[in-house]
Structure 1
C-alpha cells in the first residue's frame, strides 16, 4: 500500500483519534475523578469532531482507502472500549451495557477480519454503524458529565444505544453474509 494511500488528511485524523486513548488513559489514571471525567469528556468531543471530519474529508477529497476503512472504525472501537472499560471499573455503567458494547465490537472486528480474508476487501462502515457509535458516544459523554440517569434525554439515548447495538450487529451480519455469498458465486 503506497504512503499516499495511508497518510492522507482523512486517515491522519483517524490516526489522531486512535492516539486520543493516550491522554484519556492519562486522565483516568492521574487526575481526580471529577477532572478525569471532564478531561475524558473533552477528549470524546474532540474524537467525535475528528470522526465527522475524517469521513467528510475522505468523501470530499476522494480519499477513501482500504486503510481508512480499517483505521476509522478501529479508532472508534479502541476509544469507546477504553472509556467503557474505565466507566465499568468505576461502577458507572451496568455490567450488561459494558458486555454488550465489548461483545458487539469484538464480533464486528472478528467478523470483519474473516470477511476481509475471504473476499479480499474491507466491508465499509455504514450509517447504522455510525449512528450506533454516535449514540454510544453521547451516552458515555452524558455519564462522564454526571447527567441525571433518570432524565428523559439520558434514558432515550441510553435505550436507543442499546437498540442500535443489536440493529448494527444484525446489519453487519447481513452485509457479511451477502458479501461472502457474492464472492462464492
Structure 2
C-alpha cells in the first residue's frame, strides 16, 4: 500500500501525544529532590508512552493510515522522549557516562542517516523491529534506574550490556536497510529508463 500524504490521523495524534509527554518530564527531572519525589509519576508517564508506541503503529496498519508524516513523527517521538530521559538521568548522575554517549551517538547516526536517505530518495525509511526492540530495552533499563534498582545487581549490568549491544546492531541494521533501499530504487529507475529506450 502506497503511503498517504495525510497528516492528521488517529495514529499520528497518538504519536504526537507521546512527543508531548517529554515536556512534563523535563520538570520532573529538574533536580534530585523533584526526581526522588515523583519517581512513580515518571514511571506512570513512561507506561503511557509505551502504550502509545504500541498503539500508533498498530492503528496505522489496521486503519490503512500509514503516512510519510507518521514515519517521521513516530521515531522522532521515541528519540525525543528517550533523549529527555537519558540526558536528565545523565545530569543527575544516575546514568553511566559511556551509556549516555552510546545512546546519544546511536540516535544521531540514525537521524543523520535518515536525513541523507530522505534527501536522496524523497522518502522516509520507517522504523523496523530491531529499532523498536532497542528502544524497548533502553526504556526498560531507564525504568529500572528511575525505580531505584540496586546498580550492583546482575539485572542492571545485563540490561546495560544488552542496551549497548542492540544500539550497535540497530545502527548497522538501519545502514544495511538504507543501502538496500537505495540500490533497489536505483535498479528500478534503470529498468524504467531501459524500458523507454526500447
Say whether the fold is shared (TM-score over 0.5).
Answer: yes
1:121 is displaced (CA, Å) by 0.7
Where structure 2 has 5 or more consecutive residues not aligned to the other structure, the ranges are 188-198
Aligned 1:25-174 pairs, distance under 5 A: 25-29=26-30, 32-174=34-176
- TM-score of the two chains, using structure 1 as the length reference: 0.93
Q: CA RMSD in A?
A: 1.7
Find the aligned partners of 2:59 and 2:152 in 1 and give their Cα distance.
38
How many equivalent residue pairs? 183
After superposing on structure 2, the runs of 4+ consecutive aligned residues of structure 1 that deviate more than 6 Å are: none
User: Could you say which residue in structure 2 is the equivalent of 1:8?
Assistant: 9
Find the aligned partners of 2:185 and 2:130 in 1 and give their Cα distance.
23
- TM-score of the two chains, using structure 2 as the length reference: 0.87
1:126 is displaced (CA, Å) by 0.6
Find the aligned partners of 1:109 and 1:146 in 2 and give their Cα distance.
31
User: Could you say which residue in structure 2 is the equivalent of 1:182?
Assistant: 184
Larger radius of gyration: 2
- Aligned to 2:40, the other structure's residue is in SS state helix
1:4 is displaced (CA, Å) by 7.9
Where structure 1 has 5 or more consecutive residues not aligned to the other structure, the ranges are none
Find the aligned partners of 1:156 and 1:149 in 2 and give their Cα distance.
11
